[in-house]
Amino acid sequence: MGIGYFLGLLLVAVTEHAGVTHIGMLLCCVIVMAVATVRQATVDRDCAIERHRQDLRAQRSDRLLLEHERTGRGWFWETDRHGCLTYISDTLAQTLDAREGALIGRPMTEIIRPGDRQQGDGERTLGFHLSARTGFSDLSVCAAMAKEERWWSISGQPVFNEYGQFHGFRGSGTDLTEMRRSQAEVTRLAQFDSLTGLANRIQMLSSLEQAVTERPGRPGDCALMMLDLDRFKLVNDTLGHPAGDALLRQVSQRLKRTVGDKGLVGRQGGDEFKILLPGHHDRDALALLAQTIINAVAQPYSIEGNAVVIGVSIGISCAPQDGVTADALIRNADLALYAAKGDGRGRHRFYSSEMHADAEDRRRLEQDLRHALASDGLHLAYQPVVSLRTDQITGYEALLRWTHPVRGPISPALFIPIAEDSGMISQIGEWVIHTACRDAAQWDDGIRVAVNVSPTQFANIGFPSTVMNALAASQLAPERLELEITENVFLNDDDGTDAMFARLKALGVRLALDDFGTGYSSLGYLKKAPFDKIKIDQSFVRGAAIKGSRNSAIIKAIVSLAEALGMDTTAEGAETQDELALIRQLGCSHVQGYIYGRPMPFVDVMASHDTHGANVAMDGFKSSRPSRKTMLRTVAIHHQGHVYTGRVRNISATGALIEGLWNVPSGTLFAIELAEGQSVNATAKWSKGDRMGVEFAGMIDLSALRNAPKTLAS
């Protein structure tokens, strides 16, 4: 019954003039029903409002979840009690390259495979949690169906109804792929050199420590090579750091190709590299690999259109004989590298115990050299350069000398590399130019002075200013200064080299190519470089007059080339009269060597000029001969059908001292059977008692002779 019913009864009662009591009761009922109706309407209104609010919240939640899925930051999933999917986000289905409907009903474990074990989870995997109906959080898993590797972090909770019955799982997931890639990149950067892609210092040290501790209780076998690029600083100084970086990348590729799977190649930093070779390695095999690396690195590079040639020095230490810890192997390989660079670079050396003393000695020499440079402890010696047309001195080469207060004279071959490695060479070179110009200014006007220029000096953009200042301070005419430049300056064939030549030539000085034929010889740079002279290295001059030597042909070719280019030639290292005669015959314009004088102090040069002027006298042995080796060997000597027995005391490629035949006339011809099946014709040059000196008709191979079977007379 509603309020309308009671209102009807009340109206009838009033119309029929019912009693007051009856009307009052009906009125109360109407009021009560009205209040109840109003209250119910209010409740219904509030319920409708709440339902509307819930619908809005549900819609908002759906939108937020959908937006969350669409952004790729996460996704949702649901399974039934058997672990089969009843819901999965469409974004995840797209990641797996499948439709959402195609995944519904499939076991959750089919689309996911186990990932990393989580700390605290032990062996527990997704399958374990699903079967045990236990919740899990941030479980790392990998997609089993994705075309590319995808990593997820998933969480889930079991779902039960109001009766406690298990209905399945609901959960969420997030994509860890980019984060793991970033972590992998961070790890890679921590282990690999960013410039070259090689293993970096950290990875190399870790790998070395692992190699030396691989066998429990016993030191591991491995070899470590330390590499340092030669002349790399020159590339950086002349072409710039970007070119240097490009060169390092190319060197790295060559090292990786050369070493292959034999070992791990890493970059130590700067222009230093390491090569770790695990396991036992034969010393000869290591030497062969080192030489192969040296040859590979020495091949020309193309850097920004420039041809660049560098070298590499290698130090080698081996475990366990050279050390059983990583630190010991690194230290000893460094010492071997130091020794290799000291030997002239482009070489490899194995570690030996005496290298510690050598390194300490070199360190002390470097300190003493710094002190000598600061306290005028260096001086110049001057060796005459003589014209073969006039037989008079036309100039002197200024040679740097250092007399140590305790050790005495130190060879330039020892202290010049120290000056280069320590960065003192530029300061020393500047001192040499100023001193040489000052001294030469006191000589006769026609006498020149020649000064050696290091590649480091030549690459210095301020070098022409140094030369100009030295000329101005000494008042020396520019044409009286001759700068001797080695072939190494052409290792970087760039515009900077040409510009430096042009600037020096503009000063009016003369330019000489020093030690021609011993380095990076090329007709190309001779064609464009403005040299006034070519200096023929002493390695071609010494022994050139010995019968059978091919050096004379090389000298003749160089002289012809120089004449065609309008250049003078100076033959260095002439010591004997027959060498001088040959040089003159081959057309050299100048000669320099002991035959005309050793390097002398400035005061002796002045005294000689006061006495003799530019005149100079030749002083040397009549002829040169190859170095002789002691070889005690009995030989058969054939002469006019007779066979005699003699004994070789010492021998060279062109002759020998033989005992056993008395008073042999000079000029006697023999056939000497030096070894079984190896005979040589010879002429007696002198005889005294039972000894005679013989000259072979042709050169012999001493190394082959040492290994050959002896004669029947032996």
The answer as to whether 620 is a domain residue is no
d(CA 156, CA 171): 4
The answer on pLDDT for 240 being more than 90 is no
pLDDT (average), residues 198-206: 92
Q: What are the two backbone dihedrals, phi and then psi, of residue 256, each rounded to the nearest 5 degrees?
A: -65, -40
Q: Are residues 633 and 662 in the same domain?
A: yes
Residue type, 371: H
User: Residue 183 is inside which H or E element, if any?
Assistant: helix 177-191
What rounded mean pLDDT belongs to the chain?
85
| pLDDT tops 80 at residue 83 | yes
Q: Are residues 129 and 20 in the same domain?
A: no
In the three-class reduction of DSSP (H, G, I as helix; E, B as strand; rest coil), residue 256 is classed as helix
CA angle 39, 40, 45 (to 5 degrees): 100
User: CA 649 to CA 654: how far, in whole Å?
Assistant: 14
Select from 84, 81, 65 the least CA-distant residue to 73. 65
**pLDDT for the residue 334:** 93
How confident is the model over 276-293, as a mean pLDDT?
94
522 pLDDT above the threshold of 70:
no
Size (the chain), residues = 714
In the prediction, which pLDDT does 598 show? 92
pLDDT exceeds 60 at position 713: no
Residues 6+ apart with CB under 8 A from 223: 263, 276, 277, 281, 286, 316, 317, 318, 319
SS (H, E, C) 7-35: HHHHHHHHHCCCCHHHHHHHHHHHHHHHH
Rounded CA separation 396/386 (Å): 9
User: How large is the average pLDDT for residues 577-600?
Assistant: 93
Per the CB < 8 A criterion, the answer to whether 473 and 479 are in contact is: no
Angle formed at CA 32 by CA 28 and CA 34, multiple of 5 degrees: 115
Are 208 and 348 within one domain? Answer: yes
CATH label of the domain that carries residue 246: 3.30.70.270
pLDDT score of 119: 41
* Same-domain status, 682 and 601: no
| Strands in 503-628 per DSSP E | 510-516, 533-536, 568-572, 590-592
Do 18 and 102 fall within a single domain? no
Residues 509, 479: contact at Cβ < 8 Å?
Answer: yes
Where residue 667 falls (left for φ over 0; alpha for ψ -120 to 50; beta otherwise) is: left
Whether 712 has a pLDDT exceeding 50, the answer reads no
Question: Do 477 and 411 fall into the same domain?
Answer: yes
Whether 573 and 424 map to the same domain: the answer is: yes
∠ Cα 491 492 495 (to 5°): 140
Percentage with pLDDT > 90 across the chain: 43
User: Looking at the structure, do residues 574 and 646 belong to the same domain, yes or no?
Assistant: no
What is the rounded CA–CA span in Å between residue 182 and residue 176? 10
Q: How much is the average pLDDT of 330-354? A: 89
End-to-end CA distance of the chain: 149
The string of DSSP codes covering 103-166 is: HTTSBHHHHEEE-SPPTTTTT--HHHHHHHT--EEEEEEEESS-SS--EEEEEEEEEE-TT--E
Q: Which two tokens stand for residue 314?
A: 């290698």
Say which range, 59-73, 230-244, 477-491, has the weakest mean pLDDT: 59-73
Is 686 contained in some domain? yes
For residue 604, is pLDDT > 80? yes
Q: What are phi and psi of 481, to 5 degrees?
A: -105, 125
Shared domain for 140 and 278, answered yes or no, is no
Averaged pLDDT for residues 487-501: 74
Average pLDDT over residues 591-604: 94
Task: Report the alpha-carbon distance of residue 475 to residue 268 in Å, rounded.
Answer: 49
Residue 176 lies in a domain: no
- Separation of alpha carbons 398 and 429, rounded Å: 11
pLDDT value at position 173?
A: 87
My answer on whether 276 and 130 are in the same domain is no
Which two three-digit tokens encode residue 666? 């000079």
Do 518 and 553 fall into the same domain? yes
Distance of CA 702 to the CA centre of its chain: 39
Note whether residue 437 is domain-resident.
yes
Average pLDDT, stretch 229-256? 89
Q: Higher pLDDT residue, 25 or 77?
A: 77
| Continuous H helices in 196-240 | 201-212, 232-239
pLDDT digits (tens, 9 = 90+) for 616-652: 888 877 766 666 677 778 888 998 888 888 988 888 8
Distances (CA, A) of 429 to 421, 440, 453, 470: 14, 16, 7, 12
CB < 8 Å & 24+ apart, contacts of 98-103: 98/145
Last residue of a domain, one of 110, 139, 171: 171
Tell me whether residue 372 is in a domain: no
Q: Looking at residue 6, what is its pLDDT?
A: 60
Same domain, 454 and 589: yes
Q: Residue 654 sits in a domain of what CATH number? A: 2.40.10.220
Q: Is the pLDDT of residue 492 over 60?
A: no
Lowest-confidence pick of 123-132, 311-320, 439-448: 123-132
Give the three-class secondary structure for 630.
Answer: strand
Residue 714 in domain: no
Domain ranges, residue 115: 75-171
DSSP string, 51-65: HHHHHHHHHHHHHHH
**pLDDT for 11:** 65
What's the pLDDT band for 145 if we cut at 50, 70, 90?
Answer: low
Can you give the pLDDT at residue 471?
Answer: 97
Q: Is residue 147 part of a domain?
A: yes
Please say which residue of 612, 647, 662 terminates a domain.
Answer: 612
The CATH number of whichever domain residue 112 belongs to comes to: 3.30.450.20
Q: Are 115 and 141 in contact (CB under 8 A)?
A: yes
What integer pLDDT is reported at residue 587 of this predicted model?
95
574 sits in the region (left: phi over 0; alpha: psi -120 to 50; else beta) called: beta
Cα–Cα distance measured from residue 95 to residue 145, given in angstroms and rounded to the nearest whole number: 9
Summarised one tens digit per residue, pLDDT across range 527-582 is: 778 999 999 998 888 878 777 788 899 999 999 999 999 999 999 999 888 899 99
The reply to whether 365 falls in a domain is no
Contacts of 108 (CB under 8 A, 6+ apart): 77, 79, 83, 84, 85, 126, 130, 169
Rg (CA), the chain: 47
Residue 493 has pLDDT above 70, yes or no: no
Residue 344 in this model has a pLDDT that exceeds 90: no
Highest mean pLDDT among 205-209, 342-346, 396-400, 701-705: 396-400
pLDDT digits (tens, 9 = 90+) for 415-450: 998 898 888 999 999 999 999 999 999 999 889 999
* pLDDT tens, position by position, 2-26: 566 666 666 666 666 666 676 677 6
Q: Is residue 490 within 8 Å of 520, Cβ to Cβ?
A: yes
- Is the N-terminal amide bond of 320 cis, ω within 30° of 0? yes
CB distance 20 to 10 below 8 Å: no
Q: How many domains does the chain have?
A: 5
Report the CATH number that the domain containing residue 600 is assigned in CATH.
3.20.20.450
